[in-house]
Chain A
C-alpha cells in the first residue's frame, strides 16, 4: 500500500492542467466526423504510441477522451478525428485552423509494439474504430519491413460513413496491404462487400502462429468478431481490443472508466483478450 511518507513532493503531479495545442488543420470528413491536425507548443512532441488517447478540452464545456489517429512516426504534429455525438464534441465541431485546443495526455496503454514486430497484423475496424487503428496502420506502413502481412477489415454502416476515403484508396492500391471494406446498408453506387464486418472473416487465410488481431469498434461488435476469430482458432493472447469507457480523468482516479476492478484509462484502452476474458463487464 502506498503511504504518504513514501511520496516526495517532486514525485507529485498537477494532473489536471491541459497543454494548449494549436489546430494546424481541420476538415469535416463525413456528416458526423471532423479531422484535426494539432501542434504541441514549442516544437515538443506528444510522444504517444498507437492506441493511446488524449483528454481534449474546450473551456466552458469540459473534457472528453479522444483517440489519437496519427502514427507516432508522423513527426511534430498529431491528428484526431472526432465524431460529433455529445456536448463537447459538438462544440469542437466549430474549431478551425488557428484555434487552440486543450490537451492532456497521452494516456493509457497502446499496442505493445514489441510483441507486434515481425507479425502479420490483422486490423478489424468497425465504424469510428478505424480512427485509433489508423495510428497502428500508419505505424506499420511507415515501418513496413518490420512487419509481415497487413490485413485491414473495415466495416461501416453506409458508404457515406466511410472515413479517410483517400487513404483507403492508397491502401487499396498498395501490394503490401490487403484491404477489405464492407458496408451494412449499400447505396446504388456501392460495388464492394455488403454485410456486417464478421462476414469478411471466414474467407481469410491466416497463419495462426504469426497473426496478431487488433479490434476496435462499437461495443456490440467485439463479441461477434472475437467469436469469428476464435472459430478460425486464433489464440486468445494474439487478439487485442481497444475498449470505450467514460475515461474522465485519464489518470486512474475518477472511477468512471472501471471495468470490474480494472481502470480502462490505465490498463487499457488496448487490452489483450486473454487478460480481459475473465472480466464480466468487459465485452
Chain B
C-alpha cells in the first residue's frame, strides 16, 4: 500500500484529474449548516471538512425516486427502463458512509440480486477522506474507525492540515496516473481524533442485549417522544425499504411505475388492504427499527446494520438518540442480570 503526501491546496487539482475517470460526486455546502453529495461543477466548491451530509450516499445507488417501468394504459403494455451505467467517482466519502454502501451491497444483492442497483454500483470508484467526529458520530462503537479504508480505491487522511493519500486498489493506482502533485511518504498515525459519543458495549455484545430487550420499558419511553416522521430512516445510510407506486400522466394514456424510499416508522407501513396493521403502534415501529439495526440482520451477518454516522440522531426533530437508546437497553440489561445473579 503506497502512501503519498498531498497539499490541501492541490486537492482541487486532484478532483479535476479524477474527472477523467467519470463524473465526480463530492460533498458540497448547502446553506450554512447542511451538506449534500452533488456532481462537481467546480472543484473548488467541494467541501473537505464536513460532519455529515443530510442524505446519505445511498441516494446515488438507490435513488429516492426511481422509474421501474413506463407503461401505456391504452395498449395494456409496458417498456423496460435502461439504467445508465456511466462511470462515477465518489470523492470525499467518510469511512462510515463506505461501510454503509458495503452493507447495502448485501441487502440488494443477496437472495435476488437486483440489476438496477448492481449496474450503478459496478461502475463506481470511491475516494475516502478522514473526518473529525462531532457530538453525534459514534461509528467507532459499531466497528468503523475514521481511517477504515475497506471499499475505497484511494483514501485521504488529514495530517497537520494537509493530506496523506493512500493507494488501495489497482483502480486507485490508475486514477493517479499522470497526477504529479503527490510525493511518496511514510504513513503517519494521527492522534487525538476522538469519538465523543459511544455505545458502552462492543458491538458484538449487542445481539445478546437485544435478545432480552423486546419487552423493555425503554420502547414505550422512546415511542412517547417519537413523532413518527420517518426522518431517521430516510437519512439512514443502511435503510433500504421502499414503496412502489404507479403515476399516470395527465393525458391518462401513459404513466410510470416508480419506487420511492419508504419508512418502517410511518404508521401505514405494515398495513394491508382491509385495514389490518401489523405494526400499528409507534412502540412496535421504534422497536422494529432498532432491531433491524442491531439484531435481525446482525444475527446472520455478524455486523450491526448501523454505521454510526449519527444522522438519525442529528436530524430527529424530537431529539431521540439511537446510541442513547442502546445504552439504556444495556443499563437495563445489566440491572436484570444483577437481579438474576442475586436471586441465585
Contacts and interface: CB of A to CB of B under 8 A. Distances in A.
Nearest to B118: A12
- Interface size grouping (class) on chain B: 35 or more
B271 interface: yes
A16 B76 contact: no
B241 A255 contact: yes
A245 B242 CA distance: 15
Contacts, number: 147
A182 B259 CA distance: 43
14 contacts: A3-B105, A4-B109, A7-B118, A12-B109, A13-B113, A14-B80, A16-B259, A59-B246, A60-B71, A62-B245, A255-B269, A258-B270, A259-B278, A261-B299
A54 to B, nearest CB: 15
Nearest to B233: A255
Given A2-B110, A252-B112, 4 more contacts: A4-B109, A253-B240, A254-B262, A256-B243
A58 B209 CA distance: 45
B331 interface: no
B118 to A, nearest CB: 4
B110 A4 contact: no
Contacts of B301: 1
A245 B272 contact: yes
B315 interface: no
A99 to B, nearest CB: 7
Nearest to A251: B112
Interface of A: 1-4, 6-7, 9, 11-18, 20, 57, 59-64, 85-86, 88-89, 99-100, 102, 219, 244-246, 248-249, 251-256, 258-261, 266, 280-281
Contacts of A12: 109, 113-115, 118-119
Contacts of A88: 273
Contact of A246 (B68, B272, B284): B272
Interface of A, secondary structure class, is loop
B115 A59 contact: no
B106 A99 contact: no
Q: Which of A57, A59, A62, A261 has the most CB of B within 10 A?
A: A59
Ranked nearest first, the 6 interchain pairs of A and B with the lowest CB-CB distance are A261-B296, A86-B273, A255-B241, A2-B110, A59-B71, A12-B115
A221 B272 CA distance: 16
Contacts of B274: 85-86
A199 B186 CA distance: 80
B229 interface: no
Contact of A253 (B108, B214, B257, B276): B108
Interface in B94-152: 102-103, 105-116, 118-119, 121-122
A6 B122 CA distance: 12
Contacts of B103: 1
B122 A4 contact: yes
A259 B270 CA distance: 10
B172 interface: no
B62 to A, nearest CB: 10
Contact of A245 (B109, B111, B240, B270): B270
A59 B106 CA distance: 31
A59 B76 contact: yes
